[in-house]
Amino acid sequence: MKRKQIIIGGVIILIFALVIYALIKSSRAGSNSDDETEAPAENVPSVVSVQIGRLQRMALHRYVTGYGMVEAAPATVEQPAAGAQLAAPSAGVVARVNIMEGQMVKRGDVLMELNAGAGTADFAAQEVARQKKLYAQQNTSLKNLQDAEAQLAALQVIAPLSGIVTRLNVKAGEAVDVNTVVAEVVDLKRLAVSLQIPAAEATDLKTGEEAQVLTQPPVTATLSIVSPAVDPKTGAVPAWVLLPAASGLRPGQFVPLKIITAVHVDCLAAPADSVVTDVNGQSVIAVVKDDEASQTPVHTGFRENGWVEVAGEGLKAGAAVVTVGAYGLPEETKIQVAK
């Protein structure tokens, strides 16, 4: 009996040992199976979702930007100034005002008349008429006629150019002196934008260059004058951009503008978002071929309206490049183009 129990106990222990061995072997087999499953996953490249653009050939510009005030065009060798502030020719009292603001006048028009001391504009005009009649009859001298005309001129404000009265500062009955600006006349067909350009940027400016006044709609103009001197107060160079006759702008407007200083025609350009800087400080773009993006070093040039001039080995117009997602993209990456 005792022997039988010992045999049964030995069998139970053997069975228990076999079960434990089977469990351990199964566990090791499962672990090896997981390792075999995961190992290939380490070699599967990740797929990055990106957006793309394409290289294009276009004209890109370099330009200087600034802000300026619309005013009468300054005097040049060919033409006088397009505006004038008119002062009283002598001290006196305004006797008559023949104009109003916004009125068109012609060169030589009498804008206002003065009384000064014992003399009046009406009397001076009568005296000129009398002297002219006498001179025609050879009953007075040329000097007497010229003196009468000078007396009348001292009592009249004459328009020195044709244009519009943009400002009228006096009215009849007011006292004025020779320092009083009584009116301003501007030829609205000859306006310019006056601006100050930082001296460091002014070296690129040349008269005759195209300028764009960035209003709505934009106005194409011409750089007409660049001062040879730097303003010591501002450290800037005064310049004037001549506006076309039908610009639609008015004196006193403050406007942004850019002056084009160079043009690269038919250059290769990339979307600005596609040009990034790598860890070495080199500009690169990620060129797309099939489902991969490879980084290509580029030299950059002019930038304008979201495009950058690029030059690099093997680059051609129409090539696809990564735009959104380009920053931090590995050198060779599997990609998926986002719709």
pLDDT of amino acid 17: 63
Q: Which residues of 255-291 are buried (b: 16+ CB within 10 A; e: fewer)?
A: bebbbebeebeebbbbbebbbbeeeeeebbbbbbeee
Give the pair of three-digit tokens for residue 302. 């002019």
Q: At what angle do helices 121-136 and 142-153 cross, to 10 degrees?
A: 160
For residue 58, which of 339, 277, 265 has the smallest C-alpha distance? 265
Domains of the chain: 47-60+265-337 (2.40.420.20), 62-69+189-263 (2.40.30.170), 83-186 (2.40.50.100)
pLDDT of amino acid 87: 94
Token pair 């330009």: residue: 63
Secondary structure (H, E, C), 222-242: EEEEECCCCECCCCEEEEEEE
Q: Which residues of 119-139 are buried (b: 16+ CB within 10 A; e: fewer)?
A: bbbeebbebbeebeeebeeee
pLDDT of amino acid 291: 84
With H, G, I as helix, E, B as strand and everything else as coil, classify residue 42: coil
Residues pairing with 228 in the sheet: none
Do 247 and 191 touch, CB atoms closer than 8 A?
yes
CB neighbours of 283 closer than 8 A, spacing ≥ 6? Answer: 275, 276, 277, 297, 298, 299, 300, 310
With H, G, I as helix, E, B as strand and everything else as coil, classify residue 257: strand
Distance of CA 129 to the CA centre of its chain: 57
pLDDT of amino acid 39: 47
CA distances from 44 to 33, 161, 287, 291 (A): 18, 82, 22, 14
Side-chain half-sphere CA neighbours of 129 within 13 A: 6
pLDDT of amino acid 281: 86
Q: What is the pLDDT along the chain (339 residues), one digit of tens a residue?
A: 556 666 666 666 666 666 666 666 666 655 555 555 454 545 555 778 888 899 999 999 998 999 999 999 999 888 899 999 999 999 999 999 999 999 999 999 999 999 987 788 889 999 999 999 998 999 999 999 999 999 999 999 999 999 999 999 999 999 999 989 999 999 999 999 999 999 988 888 889 999 999 999 999 999 999 999 999 998 999 999 999 998 999 999 999 999 998 899 999 999 999 999 888 889 999 999 888 888 899 999 999 999 999 999 999 999 999 998 877 777 777 877 776
Taking the C-alpha atoms of residue 180 and residue 90, their distance in angstroms, rounded to an integer, is 9
pLDDT of amino acid 22: 66
CA distances from 10 to 14, 22, 23 (A): 6, 18, 20
Taking the C-alpha atoms of residue 93 and residue 175, their distance in angstroms, rounded to an integer, is 4
